[in-house]
Chain A
C-alpha cells in the first residue's frame, strides 16, 4: 500500500489563530477529550434543503453530502479524528482491511460480516459491485444514475468482481494508488443493490450510524441512532437534527443562542467568527481549508483569451493578497491548483509561488508586467480591451468578480460584470458561452487525481476554460500512476507551476472556514475538505 507523509500542522498557523483570538484551548483538546459519553441529540444547520434527497452520487453540493453522510458508509473513510487527510489517515468502514496487489493494479477489499442495511437486508460484495458498476457506467451495470458527476473518478476501473460475499476486487487498467483516496471521500458511499438508486432522492437505506426518522421538506431532517450499527458502542449520539435555515443572520443567531450545536461547513467567515467569539467567548472556532478556490476561467477557444499573453496579463494583474484582505478580510490564503500547505497536502507553499505569475511580492511590478503584455497585443488603459466578465449571481462570486474588474481596469482591460443565475451558470460554463469569468471551485478529497482530471483534463465537462495541453495530460497521468509518494508530490508541484505559467485557470486564493461548535461537542473535527467529515459516528456530547 502506498504511503504518503502527513504534513504537520505548523505551529505558525496555530499561533496565528490563537493570536487572533479565534481558537480556544478547547479546540486543540477536542480530539483527546475524556471518556466519551453516550446519548444526546446534536442540532445542526443547513443553508438549504436537500437538493436531491440523500442521493450523494447524483450531486456535488455540500448541502446534500453533509446531512446524508451519517446514513451511509464507504468502503474506507478518512479518519474522522484526524484533521489532515492523506492516504495514511484512511481507515476501514465497510472494508475491514484492503490490499493492493499486482503492482497497484488490483485493489482487494475484505468486507465486514454481519453488516445490515437499515431495512434489515445483509450487506455483501454485491452491493459494492452494484455501486461502482453504476458509478463507472459499466456496460452491464444493473442501474443507472440520473446524473453522474463523478464518473471520471472511476474511469480507470476495468472491472469489479464480487469474489465471494465478503470480498470485492477492483481491477484497474493501470496503477492508480490515489483511487483509495477517492473511495475515502464523503462523495463515495455504498448504495444497496436491492434499492433502486432513485429511492435515495426521497429516502435513505444505508448501513450508516444513523437512520433517517423524518425529513420535513424545507424544515428539518431528523436522524436517530442505528441500533444495529456494526461498530459496537457507536454512534455515541442518540440522534441528529439538521434545521434548514435559509437566512444567514438567523443561522448565526441560532448558534449564538445555543439552539444549534455546530455550524455548517463552509458557512462561517472570519468576520462572522470574530463576532461570534466576541458574543460567546466559550465557542470553539477552528479555522480550516474549505478546499474551495476562487479562480479565473478564461475561454482558451475564444479570442482574445486564446492568446496566452492576454491570459498571462490577467493572471499578473490580480493582486491575490489584496483580494484576500479586501474580499475575505484575511480569511483565505494564496495557492495554486491544489490547496497550499499547511492547510492542504499537495499544494505549493507561498515561498514556492513567488516566481509564478501574480504572486510577486510587489504588486506594482506584476501590474507593469501585465501592462507590457497587454501592450504587446495592442491594448492599454487608454485603448482598453472591452470584455464581459461573467459570474454566478451569488454574493461570494460577485464580490470577488468586482475586485477582479478593478484590477483588470488598471492594465487596459475594461470589463463589465454580467451576473448569471445559478440555473444557467454551469450550463453556460460547460458550453463555453463566455470569454472570461470569476469562478469558485470546490474539490472533494484533497488529492490531485480528483482535482486535475476534473478541472484540467482535456474534454472534462468541468474544465470550463477548455484548456488542453498534451504535455500536462502526460504529467497528470504520470503522477496518477506514480507509486513513490515523494516523486508524486514533486510531479504535482511541476504540474501546478505549469498550469499557473500557462494561466490555465489562475487561482486567486483558497478560502478558509471558521468551523464553530459549542464546547460540549466533541470529536467533530473539520478536515481540509468540507466533504469528508460528516459521518458523526465518533461525535459525542459532553452536555
Chain B
C-alpha cells in the first residue's frame, strides 16, 4: 500500500509539473496582457508607458524566466502578486476555496441522494412506468444546462416571491439559515445534472450485476430482495458510480463558472474567469493548479475507495 501511494505521489507530481507547463503556455497564447487591459480601461495606449508598467509588474522578462520564477514560487508556497489587485494572490484565492468546495460537495451530495436511489429503483423496476418516468427525469437533467436551470430558479423566485438569494457571501457563523439557502439552490441546480448521470450509471451497472451468477445464487438461497439488492448487488455495482462521483466532483471545482455567476457566489470558478479576462497570470495559474490538485486528489481517493468496496482490488501488486 505504501509503495502504491508513493508511486501515485510521484505520478501526481509529474502530472502537476506537466500541467504547469501547459497552463503557462496556454495562458501566453491568448492575445494581450494585463497592461493592454489596463490601457483598455483608460481608452488609449502609450507604448512607452506600457513598457514602464511591464517593468513595474515584472512581466518584461522572457517567458522561460517567468516560468522558472513560478515554479520556484510554488516550491516555497508563494503564489506571487495579483497584477490586477496589487495583493498577494493567496489573499485573493483563500476565501474563494471554501465557497467552491462547499458548493461542489453539496451538489455531489444532492446528486448521490437523488441519483443512487432512483438508479436502483429504475433498475429493479426495469421497463415499468416508474422506470420510464425516472429515465425521462434523468434525461431532462442531462439535457438541461445547470446555468439555465439556475436562471430559471432565480426568475421563478423573483417572479413568484419577489425574492432572490443574498448577493454576497453569507458565512454560516453570521447567519446559518441564509447561508444554507444561499448554497442549497445552486447546489440543487448543479446536483440535478450530476444526479442524472449517477442515476443512469447506477441503473446500467446494477442491471449488469443483477445478471451475475452470485446474485442468482443469492435469490436461490431465498434471501430477501432488500438483502440481495442493497447488500450484494449494489455494493458490487458501485465501482463505476464511485468513479463518476469522483470525476463529477473534480469537474465541479472548475466547472461551476456559470452557476457561481448566476447565483453571484464568490467562488473559484467565477473569479477564475474574471482573472483570465484580466490576464492576471499569477491568480489564473495558481487557481488552475489548485483545480488540478483537486482532480488528482479526488482520483486518488476514488482509487482508494475501490479497495474498500471490492476486497478483490489490491494495491501495490
Q: Which residues of A contact B (CB under 8 A)?
A: 43, 48-49, 51-53, 58-61, 63-64, 146-149, 198, 201-202, 216-220, 243, 245-247, 249-250, 253-254, 256-260, 279, 421-427, 430-431, 442, 461-462
Contact = CB atoms under 8 A, between A and B. Distances in A.
A59 B37 CA distance: 11
B163 A249 contact: no
Contacts of B46: 461
A196 B40 CA distance: 23
What are the 5 A-B residue pairs with the smallest beta carbon separation, nearest first?
A: A423-B32, A149-B42, A461-B44, A430-B45, A243-B167
Given A60-B42, A243-B168, A245-B264, 16 more contacts: A48-B274, A53-B86, A146-B38, A146-B53, A201-B86, A202-B85, A216-B95, A218-B270, A219-B168, A246-B261, A250-B262, A253-B158, A279-B158, A423-B279, A426-B36, A430-B45
Contacts of B110: none
A357 B85 CA distance: 46
B155 interface: yes
Contacts of B85: 53, 202, 217
A257 B163 contact: yes
26 contacts: A51-B84, A52-B38, A59-B41, A60-B42, A147-B49, A149-B42, A149-B43, A202-B87, A216-B168, A243-B167, A243-B264, A246-B270, A247-B264, A249-B154, A250-B264, A253-B157, A257-B164, A260-B167, A279-B159, A423-B30, A424-B32, A426-B39, A426-B40, A426-B45, A427-B45, A442-B43
B212 interface: no
A530 B86 CA distance: 28
Given A245-B264, A422-B277, A461-B46, A147 B155 contact: no
A424 B270 contact: no
A477 to B, nearest CB: 21
B258 to A, nearest CB: 8
Contacts of B56: 146
Contacts of A245: 167, 264
B151 A49 contact: no
Contacts of A59: 41-42
A425 B38 CA distance: 12
Contacts of A43: 167
Contact of B274 (A49, A60, A260): A49
Nearest to A247: B261
Contacts of B303: none
Contact of B40 (A198, A256, A425): A425
Interface string B13-53: 00000000000000000111100111111111110010011
> Which of B30, B37, B45, B262 counts the most chain A CB atoms within 10 A?
B45
A53 to B, nearest CB: 8
B92 interface: yes
Contacts of B31: 421, 423-424
Nearest to A146: B53
B266 A219 contact: yes
Given A257-B162, A257-B163, A218 B37 contact: no
Contacts of B32: 421-424, 427
Contacts of A61: 41
Contacts of A147: 38-39, 42, 49, 53
Interface residues of B, number: 47
> Which of B38, B95, B271 counts the most chain A CB atoms within 10 A?
B38
Given A258-B162, A422-B40, A218 B271 contact: yes
B175 to A, nearest CB: 15
Nearest to A430: B45
B87 A256 contact: no
> Which of A218, A249, A422 counts the most chain B CB atoms within 10 A?
A218
A49 B274 CA distance: 9
B306 interface: no
Contacts of B251: none
> Which of B32, B151, B159, B277 counts the most chain A CB atoms within 10 A?
B32
Contacts of A51: 37-38, 41, 84
B169 interface: yes
B191 to A, nearest CB: 20
Interface in B249-269: 261-264, 266
Contacts of A257: 157-158, 162-164
Given A217-B87, A247-B261, A423-B32, A149 B44 contact: yes
> Which of B32, B40, B52, B85 counts the most chain A CB atoms within 10 A?
B40
A250 B43 contact: no
Given A243-B168, A256-B158, A60 B41 contact: yes
A55 to B, nearest CB: 10
Contacts of A53: 85-86
A243 B264 CA distance: 9
Nearest to B263: A250
Interface string B139-172: 0000000000001001101110011100111000
A124 B209 CA distance: 83
A147 B32 CA distance: 17
Contacts of B45: 426-427, 430-431, 461
A48 B40 CA distance: 14
A427 B36 CA distance: 7
Contacts of A149: 42-44
Contacts of A424: 31-32, 36
Interface string B102-130: 00000000000000000000000000000
Contacts of A148: 49
A51 B82 CA distance: 12
A372 to B, nearest CB: 36
Given A59-B42, A424-B32, A220 B168 contact: yes
B111 to A, nearest CB: 24
A254 B37 contact: no
Nearest to A426: B40
Nearest to A51: B41
B84 to A, nearest CB: 8
Contacts of B84: 51
Nearest to B273: A246
> Which of B32, B44, B162, B169 counts the most chain A CB atoms within 10 A?
B44
A400 B277 CA distance: 23
Contacts of A279: 158-159
Nearest to A463: B44
> Which of B52, B95, B151, B167 counts the most chain A CB atoms within 10 A?
B167
Given A243-B264, A421-B32, A253 B154 contact: yes
